[in-house]
Chains A and B, each alone.
Chain A
Amino acid sequence: MAQGPTQPDREFENVLTKSATEVASFDRQEKTLLGRLQHMLHSSPALVPLIVLLMSLAIFGLLLGSRFFSPFSMTLILQQVAIVGIVGAAQSLVILTAGIDLSVGAIMVLSSVVMGQFTFRYGLPPSLAVLCGFAVGAAVGFINGFLIARIKLPPFIVTLGMWQIVLATNFLYSRNETIRSQDLEAQAPLLQVFGTQIRFGGAVFTLGVIVMVVLVLVLSYVLKHTAWGRHVYAIGDDPEAAQLAGIEVEKTLISVYVLGGLICALAGWVLIGRIGSVSPTAGQFANIESITAVVIGGISLFGGRGSILGMLFGALIVGVFGLGLRLMGTDPQWTYLLIGVLIIAAVAVDQWIRKVAG
């Protein structure tokens, strides 16, 4: 084995000759465009759904012209997504804690039925009946939260069970009876209040739409700028670390589910305004629709990441596709197909963005 004097002494050190000699440092290389995009999307998670929303608006606008791109149509989409948007707000809170709530739609319907039946069956003043509806929503939310936070049952299981229980209660209690719009109008107009229209030229807003937007903005602020909001994110990210950092995890979790229940009750009230009547068969798919909005809105199902504004954009994307495709006269199945594609694409984008953190 003939070795020159410049060669390392031992054979296993041979590799060193080709290795870097400078002091270890962070990678200061200029990021690629794609890399910077990835970073930007990571820091503002509502951006992806916002871009998709604007793009789909532009595409349908080009294809359909003023029939679609009018103040009336734009505000109509808002009216059509108001319920999903409100229920989605509740769902967002829960999913941010790495939970899931399958019972949101059932809570909404039961609350609306309580508001209606307490007025018509027991003759309570409508304002009191509305309060009772909110109480029912909060109570169901509390049971969910208690079972999940205290008894440590998985959120999926608890709310799967609660969904069935609440829905069955709804059908049993309401005796499958619908209260007609005309009766509500005559005897309890308060229940329909969220159907009230406010017009600006061609644009038509309902109180339901306004309450949805305000709710999302308020929650967005609360989640970003209050201790409670940061705790919600922290618990979703890592409950043990949150506990060690002194956050009261159980209490916060329970409060999230109670607030979720209250928001669902609000959705129930808004639902009465939208469909006019109190119908126990309404809102059967609200849980799936709200999860769809949350996922397309870029909120991570693993918790701790995403913004509630994204959920609103997600709900609006679904609304835009729904109205746009119907105006083009396509088979309704195409709407479902495209929403399916969007869901999978949204999660794929989410996974890609997450890599920036790794």
Chain B
Amino acid sequence: MNQTTLKAGLLAAAAIAALSAQPAAAQAVSACLITKTDTNPFFVKMKEGAQAKAAELGIELKSYAGRIDGDTESQVQAVETCIADGAKGILIAASDTVGIVPVIQQARDAGLLVVALDTPLEPIDSADATFATDNFLAGELIGKWAAAQLGDAAADARIAFLNLNPSSPSVDVLRNQGFMTGFGIEVKDVNVIGDEDDPRIVGHDVTNGNEEGGRTAMENLLQQDPTINVVHTINEPAAAGAYEALKAVGREGDVLIVSVDGGCPGILNVKDGVIGATSQQYPLLMASLGIEAIAKFAADGTLPAVTEGKNFTDTGVALVTDKPAEGVESIDTAKGTELCWG
């Protein structure tokens, strides 16, 4: 009796295994999207873009995310799950751009296409392709704009830098050094924040990319030099926090704040004059291009091409401001609002 049950059970299990193997072979392409967090609107928008494109192309998309920015363990697990799941490709915005590389290599060895979104891996060719904003250019645009706005006064500017966090991830360095280059500050080592000796630099502080950190960092730097008149911020929430600090000391009217991101609240802040100009990036485009790349790869094995002159696929960046400066191409906030995310 017992044995019969066992046999029947085994048979049933085998049948189920056979059945479930069947559709897997015939099924549409499946893909994975792994983002840094599920809470940052930037990645929420990225997910929306990927889902829309996946639905359009009939790709089955599974999404994963770290719990917080910097949570690599969850991302490693997600990559392993995708390999086990038989996905055709992975789109990943990596939290730890070096630490994730070994498991990414496993995925590529298993025949998956790996596309880095937004954040390049280190080295950049650890992924089959990278769809990202040119963050250096993003910084350069706001730097040029700020210098042009100040005109001759740029020579005596007092500049504060509100960066991301103490570990200075690549995006932080690229935007910071890009801004300096655009503004006309000699950057020395372009991979290092803070090795410059230009007297116009008041100082650097970190914000964790949010309002609270932006306000505290701005207060600290104002204590170092109350005459600051240009503020570079890593993103728009940090810029909004900096503005509150400036407002508290009655300086909101005569300080130029520039930022990077292009989220909808950020664009509204440009419109209201809180932020002078911001470099807008396009997460939705990154994700939809990524899904298309996986579809192509699954169909005939083509790898995505890189943008000419760069080692990644540039998804574009545009300067959004209502005070265009001569020699710096920009779009106005009306156009920026159409294209914004979050």
Contact = CB atoms under 8 A, between A and B. Distances in A.
Contacts of A176: 39-41, 44, 342
A280 interface: yes
B216 interface: yes
Q: Is the interface of B mostly helix, strand, loop or mixed?
A: helix
B39 A281 contact: yes
B220 A277 contact: no
A197 B268 contact: no
A178 B212 CA distance: 13
B220 A326 contact: yes
A82 B274 CA distance: 25
Interface in B156-171: 166
Interface residues of B, number: 32
Contacts of B216: 80, 322
B15 to A, nearest CB: 39
Interface residues of A, number: 36
B283 to A, nearest CB: 13
Contacts of A79: 219
B203 interface: yes
A171 B166 contact: no
Contact of B220 (A171, A197, A279, A323): A323
Nearest to A331: B166
Interface string A95-123: 00000000000000000000000000000
B107 interface: no
Interface in A292-332: 322-323, 326-327, 329, 331-332
A279 B166 contact: no
Contacts of B44: 176
A327 B240 contact: no
Interface in B243-274: 243-244, 247-248, 265, 268-269, 272, 274
B211 A182 contact: no
A329 B268 contact: no
Interface string A47-84: 00000000000000000000110001100100110000
A274 B212 contact: yes
Contacts, number: 89
Nearest to A171: B39
Given A181-B240, A181-B244, A182-B269, A323 B223 contact: yes
B223 A73 contact: yes
Nearest to A183: B268
B237 A182 contact: no
A275 B244 contact: yes
A68 B224 CA distance: 9
A281 B210 contact: yes
A283 B237 contact: no
A333 interface: yes
A68 B342 CA distance: 39
Contacts of A177: 41, 342
B33 to A, nearest CB: 17
A118 to B, nearest CB: 19
Interface string A167-179: 0000100001110
A332 B215 contact: no
A76 B219 contact: yes
B268 A275 contact: no
B269 A274 contact: no
Given A182-B274, A327-B224, A329-B203, A282 B269 contact: no
A204 interface: yes
B237 A276 contact: no
A224 interface: no
27 contacts: A73-B223, A76-B219, A176-B39, A176-B41, A176-B342, A177-B342, A178-B211, A178-B237, A180-B268, A181-B244, A182-B268, A182-B272, A274-B215, A275-B211, A275-B241, A276-B215, A276-B243, A277-B240, A281-B210, A323-B220, A326-B220, A326-B224, A327-B220, A327-B223, A327-B224, A329-B224, A332-B166
Given A275-B215, A322-B216, 19 more contacts: A76-B219, A79-B219, A80-B219, A171-B38, A176-B40, A182-B274, A204-B248, A274-B212, A275-B244, A276-B215, A276-B240, A276-B241, A280-B39, A281-B39, A281-B40, A326-B205, A327-B220, A327-B224, A333-B166
